[in-house]
Amino acid sequence: MTHPGISVLLVDDHAVVREGYRRLLESEADLHICGEAADATQAYQRFCALSPNVVVMDVSLPGASGVEVTRRMLARSSAARILMFSVHDEVIFVRHALNAGALGYVTKASAPEMLVEAVRAVARGTRYLSADVIQGLATSDALREATSGRSLSAREFEVLRLLMQGYTLPIIAEKLGLSEKTVANHQSVIRNKFGANNGVQLARMADRLGMQFSTGAVGFT
Amino acid sequence: MKDTSKGLSESDSESARPTLRALFRLQFEPAQDAFVLLYPEGMVKLNQSASEIIKRCDGTRGVKQLVAEVESTFNRVGLAHPINAFLAEATARGWVEWIA
């Protein structure tokens, strides 16, 4: 069966990255990019204005994350079909994205044709996960058990995600548009939920649970 | 030659020297088999190149000297761009500040 043209909204904060994906997806006759967005606010506005068939969404965006904007899009339109496309392959990221209602999750380490395949599957309303994500989920029974009891709220998860990336409280507050005191409160609740006495202990526990903290990667090692 | 500190708003002059902020500490973590950056809110694991850069952020070197030393450590040239990108990211995350 042939599909009618699938319109795609691309959300990624790097213009060069969007350009690459645009070229890749538009080389397929049945796909076309109807718009692009560089942050969560823009993504939501363009989603409302363009009603794309599929949103290809980066998890890490300036301001609110891709997971948060996914939740907002689905609150507006429960038929929204969102494919997360991320460098993060950690199970906790995948789980939060899927819990937020994303239909697919593909890591940026995947082969380019996998993104094309994923866009088509998600457009049909079919769940699509890249092989590394499936493997991560399959081997994470213990992890699932460990994290489910902690029941982090969406906001607490955002704060933890940024803490794990090495951001300080004032910068997290600025990024999330919250006061430093509010972020400090979230931090304290997260530590309680993990039973951690301090930041380092929390980082070690989160790391053991598969939410690896940032490697501060540079491109030559 | 281009100014290697381009793109770092806090290091516009070539003489600016990056230094680790007061509350941050670099240490080797045997459990991770890697260098980590400890700070009050938590801990960040660094890969080898990131730790070689951070080790040298002690306020005594400009970016040019830092790049030359890291290039010598890895026996490679042309690392100014990734090193500057990392320093920009480290500055944005609040790990590093600049001495004029």
Higher pLDDT, B61 or A219: B61
Nearest chain B Cα to A208, which residue? B32
CB B97 within 8 A of CB B10: yes
- Mean pLDDT computed over B74-96: 89
- Please write the tens of the pLDDT for every residue from A44-78: 999 999 999 999 999 888 878 899 999 999 999 99
Please report the pLDDT score of residue B9 as a whole number. 44
Q: Give chain B positions within 8 Å (CB) of A163.
A: 41-42
Nearest chain A Cα to B77, which residue? A220
B54 CB within 8 Å of a chain A CB: yes
Please report the pLDDT score of residue A57 as a whole number. 95
Please report the pLDDT score of residue A147 as a whole number. 54
- Please write the tens of the pLDDT for every residue from A99-108: 899 999 998 8
* Cα–Cα distance for residue pair A132/B71, rounded to 1 Å: 34
What is the DSSP-derived secondary structure letter of residue A209?
Answer: T
Expressed in percent and rounded to 5, the helix, strand and coil fractions of chain A are 50, 15, 35
Q: Which amino acid is at A51?
A: S
Cα-to-chain-centroid distance, residue A148 = 18
Q: Is it the case that residue B21 has pLDDT exceeding 90?
A: yes
Nearest chain A Cα to B51, which residue? A216
Q: Give chain B positions within 8 Å (CB) of A187.
A: 41
Please report the pLDDT score of residue A120 as a whole number. 95
* Cα–Cα distance for residue pair B62/B77, rounded to 1 Å: 17
Q: Is it the case that residue B80 has pLDDT exceeding 60?
A: yes
Cα-to-chain-centroid distance, residue A177 = 19
Domains of chain B: 9-94 (3.90.930.60)
Beta-bridge partners for A37: A11
Domains of chain A: 6-138 (3.40.50.2300), 150-208 (1.10.10.10)
Q: Is it the case that residue B86 has pLDDT exceeding 80?
A: yes
Mutation for B interface: A13, A220, A221, most B CBs within 10 A: A220
Run of H or E residues at A188 = helix A180-194
Q: Of the given ranges (A71-80, A147-156, B26-35), which has the lowest mean pLDDT? A: A147-156
* Cα–Cα distance for residue pair A39/A45, rounded to 1 Å: 10
- Mean pLDDT computed over A82-98: 83
- Mean pLDDT computed over A194-215: 77
CA angle A163, A178, A95 (to 5 degrees): 50
Give helix A91-100 / helix A66-76 axis angle, nearest 10°: 20
SS3 B19: strand
Q: Of the given ranges (A89-103, A132-146, B9-23), which has the lowest mean pLDDT? A: A132-146
Picking from B41, B51, B82, the nearest residue to A168 by CB comes out as B41
Q: Give chain A positions within 8 Å (CB) of B32.
A: 207
> Backbone phi, then psi, for B38, in 5-degree steps?
-95, 140
> Backbone phi, then psi, for B33, in 5-degree steps?
50, 45
Please report the pLDDT score of residue A216 as a whole number. 55
Higher pLDDT, A165 or B63: B63
CA angle A27, A28, A32 (to 5 degrees): 90
Q: How many CB atoms lie within 10 A of CB B23?
A: 12
Higher pLDDT, A91 or A35: A35
Run of H or E residues at A36 = strand A31-37
- Strand A82-86 to A31-37 pairing: unpaired
Q: Are the beta carbons of B74 and A207 separated by less than 8 Å?
A: no
Residue indicated by tokens 């930041």: A199
Q: Name the pLDDT band for B29 (thresholds 50, 70, 90).
A: confident
Q: Are the beta carbons of A218 and B92 separated by less than 8 Å?
A: no
Q: Name the pLDDT band for A125 (thresholds 50, 70, 90).
A: very high
* Cα–Cα distance for residue pair A193/A175, rounded to 1 Å: 23
CB B9 within 8 A of CB B83: no
Q: Is it the case that residue B58 has pLDDT exceeding 80?
A: yes
Q: Are the beta carbons of A213 and B54 separated by less than 8 Å?
A: no
Shortest distance, CA A190 to any CA of chain B (angstroms): 12
What is the DSSP-derived secondary structure letter of residue A212?
Answer: P
Higher pLDDT, A169 or A148: A169
Q: Give chain B positions within 8 Å (CB) of A216.
A: 37, 44-47, 50-51, 54, 86, 89-90
- Mean pLDDT computed over B15-23: 92
Please report the pLDDT score of residue B82 as a whole number. 86
Tokens of B89: 């990211």
